[in-house]
Amino acid sequence: MQPLHKKERIMMAEKKQIIMFWGRRCPHCRAMEPIVQKLEEEEGIKFERLEVWENKENADKMRALADIIKPACGGYLGTPAFYDPNRNVALCGEKPYETLRDWALAKIDE
């Protein structure tokens, strides 16, 4: 994957909406929150945060994506799980800023 220029990233981010499935007692979800906030502020990526243990509807949404999320999470519905509806792909677990940014801004054919 080629690194993107800032302008190009912002243009792509304007169209981007990433779903973040998280659990309120999950330490990795807690660790990812500042990174997600930074990506929202610096790159303009929009994250829809869906807590799965307290909200049954969110849990069902996550379960409905099991075929996509489980392979990305080592065979489980792990949290935090990031889902890109445009590309129909998932990224799972605690990740560095750059990894999540590049994944979130990847084009459909990447």
Q: Which long-range contacts (CB under 8 A, 24 or more apart) does 72-77 make?
A: 77/21, 77/52
Q: How far is the CB of 39 from other proteins (least distance, A)?
A: 21
Q: Could you give the angle at which helices 97-104 and 27-43 cross, rounded to 10 degrees?
A: 60
Report the alpha-carbon distance of residue 33 to residue 57 in Å, rounded: 21
Stretch that binds other proteins, among 10-18, 24-32, 40-48, 97-105 (CB under 8 A): 24-32
Binding mask 32-51 for other proteins (x = CB under 8 A): --------------------
Nearest to 106 by CA among 8, 29, 34: 8
User: Is residue 63 a contact residue for other proteins (CB under 8 A)?
Assistant: yes
Q: How far is the CB of 3 from other proteins (least distance, A)?
A: 25
CB of 23 or CB of 84, closer to other proteins? 23
CB of 42 or CB of 51, closer to other proteins? 51
Stretch that binds other proteins, among 6-14, 19-27, 40-48, 99-107 (CB under 8 A): 19-27
CB of 19 or CB of 52, closer to other proteins? 52
Two tokens, residue 1 = 């994957």
* Sequence letter at residue 89: V
Nearest to 81 by CA among 32, 25, 16: 32
